[in-house]
Amino acid sequence: MVKNYYLEGIYFSLIMTIFGFITSYITDFISGRKIVYFPNHGIDMASGTFFTSVLVYLLFSNKYLKYKCIN
């Protein structure tokens, strides 16, 4: 159970990181700017998004499920 919980957190974080980049590419495309697929700050952006997402998932996923079960 605990192993799956952490694995879900990793999956959630990977999805958030990938969609963060996709969103950045889409907004660059819409605004007419040149799309930079591998920016200089890409590693920092990816690691920051990943670790923030893991933290948010681990801190709040159980609380959200408990809230949804009550309501």
For 4-27, how does the pLDDT look when each residue is reduced to its tens digit (9 = 90+)?
Answer: 888 999 999 999 999 999 999 999
Predicted TM-score of the model (pTM):
0.79
* Other residues' Cβ atoms within 10 Å of the Cβ of residue 57: 20
Nearest-angstrom CA–CA distance, 29 and 18: 17
What stretches of 1-71 show up as alpha helix (H) in DSSP? 2-31, 42-70
Tell me the per-residue pLDDT of 22-43, one tens digit each, with 9 for 90 and over. Answer: 999 999 999 999 999 888 999 9
61 pLDDT above the threshold of 90:
no
